[in-house]
Amino acid sequence: MIIHEVATPRKQLAFTFDDGPDPVHTARIAAAFERHGGRATFFVLGGALERHPDVARALHAAGHELGNHSYSHPRLTELDEDARREELERTDALIRDIAGVRPTSFRAPFLATDDALEALAASYGYAHAGGLNLDSMDWASPGVEHIAATVRAAFRAGAVILLHDGGDREQTAEAIERLLPEAVAAGFELVTFAELRRQAAEASPA
């Protein structure tokens, strides 16, 4: 099941970023969160992790969450079971090696999923992240104003925000630098996807 938002009484947002880590844009985005006292989730690609492990280590050290976004960004629904498992396992192992913890969050490339992939993700203990702002399309560089407006429209308690830090993400980074102070001023906490789920679970009646 893809989680686009979490039912929670707390005014929290989970910003998430796909396709990194990138030594330029990931670092810029992380710096913005540091300035505003927030944390985010970075759904990393195994190939990018191998190229930039120090960036990922810095994210983990700063309290951000590393999630699994596959090794090479294929459409996982088009692969057989062994190939799917290898995509998840290689990145899972890299995250464990770099951060010393096993990831608990996953996002399928292109958000392409099926029952078999959901079962595989569940076997790793992953929660599958979606996003309420899919019309942002920041991967296509539609403009800072478009990105900011579509993300802002998704601001509500428990929302998962989907953006990208891999590739040329100058527009995304600029939008984030505008959005974070707005979110904080509106009373939102900026938390990881894992923290959002944990807080919601603790708030739910037994």
Q: Based on the number of CB atoms within 10 Å of its own CB, is 80 exposed (0-12), middle (13-18) or buried (19 or more)?
A: exposed
- Name the DSSP letter for residue 72: S
Which residue out of 97, 164, 165, 168 is catalytically annotated?
A: 164
- Is 164 catalytic? The answer is yes
- As a whole number of angstroms, the distance between CA 133 and CA 148 comes to 10
Beta-carbon contacts of 98 under 8 Å, excluding residues fewer than 6 positions away, are 49, 53, 56, 57, 60, 66
Does 36 qualify as catalytic in the annotation? no
Q: Which of 18, 19, 22, 92 is catalytic?
A: 18
Beta-strand runs (E) in the chain: 2-3, 12-18, 41-44, 65-68, 105-106, 127-129, 159-164, 189-190
Instruction: Copy the structure tokens of residue 58.
Output: 């810095």
* 7, containing H or E segment: none
Active site residues: 18, 164
